[in-house]
Amino acid sequence: MSSSRGRFISGLTAGTGALLVRGAPAVAQPYNCFRPGPRTRATPWTKPDQKVLERKAAWSLSAADANVVKLRAAYKKMQALPQSDPHSMIAQRNMHAYYCDDCPNISTNQQIHGSYRFFPWHRAFLYFHERILGSLIGDFSLRLTYFDWEVAAHRAMPPIYTAAGQSLLHPRALPNGSPVYPASDFTIVPSMMTYVVDDFMGDAGAGGTPEAKPHDYGHTAMGDDMGVLNTAAFDPIFFCHHGNVDRMWASWQHYHPGIDPGGAYSTLRFSFWDEHKKWVSIGVADVADTTNLGYTYASFIPTTARVVKREILLQLATPSRIGPPPPPEQLSDAASVDIHLRGLAVPADEGFFLVQAVTPDGKSHDLGTFATIPHVAGGGMSMSSDLRKVNLVLAVAPEVARQIATAGTTFRIQQRSARNARSSPNLLLGQGVPKVTPARIGALSLTVR
Ligand SMILES: [Cu+2]
């Protein structure tokens, strides 16, 4: 990431400018981050005496639900606090911006997206956010909700968030009808429960597929403040969207007990303001089990496991070209094939990406899509030298796998900007001139089911 980003965007305002919804005032205010905590050492987090309670699906809750009443009262208080208060909504937004290396006025060199830091950091962020909300109303039985977009009928904004005149509603320009799309990137969520750890959680230098698909698409498709990293956590739906991202992780952990990415993962620690305004640090061992943080989910995401027949490691002649192909009989009995593109380098920090394979006969085959979230609205920065890496799993029909498993097949990615998605939802893969670049892949393999 550019270390001089702040210079390009100082003076930028957050919020949606002239974009209004149902007469609600747009949130446009000067945006300045402070260092979230003191430079002194954080105190290690200790588990409070707390009950283990369920986080429930936002779609299952009505305005009369006791927890919804608590959430609305707590957010109302949070939104009224001044920026200088670490419990304020503005401070919560800035905490996320700080850890995205997206503060307009300071370079933080902290990035918790695009690697195995993504899941544990966000779990801890949501936990402290939940505790702070509880402390604001003096009731620690308050729990966050989750946006169960893996259910087709639940891909519209949950009604408890869109009702007028209450604190869960955030000003947005985009329609509330279908804010999570393309649908295919949410339909595949149950199949992600079968992913191996590197593909699900990512590794030290690459994000996993859940981050690049439902997570990133949800942010960019919801748009407005949610659509850019440095303002996303200003919208209460952030904590509902991330509730389901966290539920994806909890569900995956349920199917893969005790598995983590290894390496330096187990030594990761993150610092936050707690509910007593104490600067505390929490480690990945503390957040590994949600019950240690006082919550469970009303249900796990079901898995659609299909027996794995074999794994085929493909040799790459160059970073985007297949070398010797596998023997054809290895694919002849496939019912479905997952292509794993490990360490796929993305030649920009944001966009919608279509991955294609070009076979030696010159035919191009669309393999699938993923997204990355813009750092700031509107652009204005040159980030062409930035690289993000993703461990991308793309499910393809056996026939496509057979055609591309050929010596000389090359891979390329088409990129469209996501920066204007907030004012033009149809931009998602639909419009704009794509930039086409050869893919750079670290390793390539196939899972035959
Ligand atoms: Cu985030």
Residue 283 three-state SS: strand
Average pLDDT of the chain, as a whole number: 87
Distance, CA 164 to ligand 1 centroid (Å)? 27
Q: Residue written as tokens 């850890």?
A: 99
Most confident range (mean pLDDT) of 19-28, 74-83, 170-179, 387-396 is 74-83
CA distance 326 to 405: 7
Identity (one letter) of the amino acid at 441?
Answer: I
Question: 306 falls in which pLDDT band (50, 70, 90)?
Answer: confident
Distance, CA 112 to ligand 1 centroid (Å)? 7
Count structural domains, the chain. Answer: 2
The pTM of this model reads 0.91
Same structural domain for residues 273 and 353?
no
Distance, CA 114 to ligand 1 centroid (Å)? 10
Distance, CA 158 to ligand 1 centroid (Å)? 20
Same structural domain for residues 371 and 398?
yes
Distance, CA 95 to ligand 1 centroid (Å)? 10
Instruction: Determine, yes or no, domain membership for 255.
Output: yes
pLDDT of res. 432: 67
CATH number of the domain enclosing 404: 2.60.120
Distance, CA 20 to ligand 1 centroid (Å)? 25
pLDDT of res. 4: 34
Instruction: Determine, yes or no, domain membership for 367.
Output: yes
Residue 373 reports pLDDT greater than 60: yes
Distance, CA 207 to ligand 1 centroid (Å)? 12
pLDDT of res. 271: 94
Question: 438 falls in which pLDDT band (50, 70, 90)?
Answer: very high
pLDDT of res. 351: 86
Distance, CA 96 to ligand 1 centroid (Å)? 6
Same structural domain for residues 346 and 253?
no
Region 160-181: mean pLDDT is 84
Q: Which residues contact 444 (CB under 8 A, 6 or more apart)?
A: 313, 314, 316, 322, 339, 340, 341, 342
**Which residue has better confidence, 197 or 328?**
197
Q: Which residues contact 266 (CB under 8 A, 6 or more apart)?
A: 260, 284, 285
Region 171-180: mean pLDDT is 73
Q: 208-251, pLDDT tens digit by residue?
A: 999 999 999 999 888 888 988 888 999 999 999 999 999 999 99
Q: Among 243, 269, 297, identify where a domain stops.
A: 297
pLDDT of res. 3: 35
Same structural domain for residues 28 and 138?
yes
Instruction: Determine, yes or no, domain membership for 76.
Output: yes
Distance, CA 295 to ligand 1 centroid (Å)? 20
Instruction: Determine, yes or no, domain membership for 302.
Output: no
CATH number of the domain enclosing 279: 1.10.1280.10
Distance, CA 402 to ligand 1 centroid (Å)? 37
Same structural domain for residues 224 and 348?
no
Buried b (16+ CB within 10 A) or exposed e, 227-265: bbbbbbbbbbbbbbbbbbbbbbbbbbbeebeeebbeeeb
Instruction: Determine, yes or no, domain membership for 304.
Output: no
Question: 31 falls in which pLDDT band (50, 70, 90)?
Answer: low
pLDDT of res. 90: 93
Instruction: Determine, yes or no, domain membership for 60.
Output: yes
Distance, CA 406 to ligand 1 centroid (Å)? 38
Question: 416 falls in which pLDDT band (50, 70, 90)?
Answer: confident
**Which residue has better confidence, 45 or 108?**
45
Domain containing 417: what range?
A: 310-448
CA distance 410 to 398: 18
**Which residue has better confidence, 428 or 354?**
354
pLDDT of res. 263: 92
Phi and psi (nearest 5°) for 27?
-95, 95
Most confident range (mean pLDDT) of 135-149, 343-357, 362-376 is 135-149
Q: Which percentage of the chain shows pLDDT scores above 90?
A: 70
Distance, CA 100 to ligand 1 centroid (Å)? 7
Distance, CA 204 to ligand 1 centroid (Å)? 17
pLDDT of res. 274: 96
Question: 433 falls in which pLDDT band (50, 70, 90)?
Answer: confident
Q: Residue written as tokens 């949410």?
A: 186
Same structural domain for residues 90 and 146?
yes
Same structural domain for residues 123 and 272?
yes
Q: Among 275, 297, 319, identify where a domain stops.
A: 297
Q: 316-327, pLDDT tens digit by residue?
A: 999 999 999 999
Instruction: Determine, yes or no, domain membership for 305.
Output: no
CA distance 362 to 446: 22
DSSP summary character for residue 161: H
Same structural domain for residues 292 and 348?
no
Same structural domain for residues 91 and 28?
yes
Instruction: Determine, yes or no, domain membership for 203.
Output: yes
Region 27-55: mean pLDDT is 81
Same structural domain for residues 281 and 326?
no
Distance, CA 32 to ligand 1 centroid (Å)? 18
Distance, CA 43 to ligand 1 centroid (Å)? 23
Same structural domain for residues 440 and 321?
yes
Same structural domain for residues 218 and 319?
no
Distance, CA 113 to ligand 1 centroid (Å)? 6
Q: Among 249, 265, 297, identify where a domain stops.
A: 297
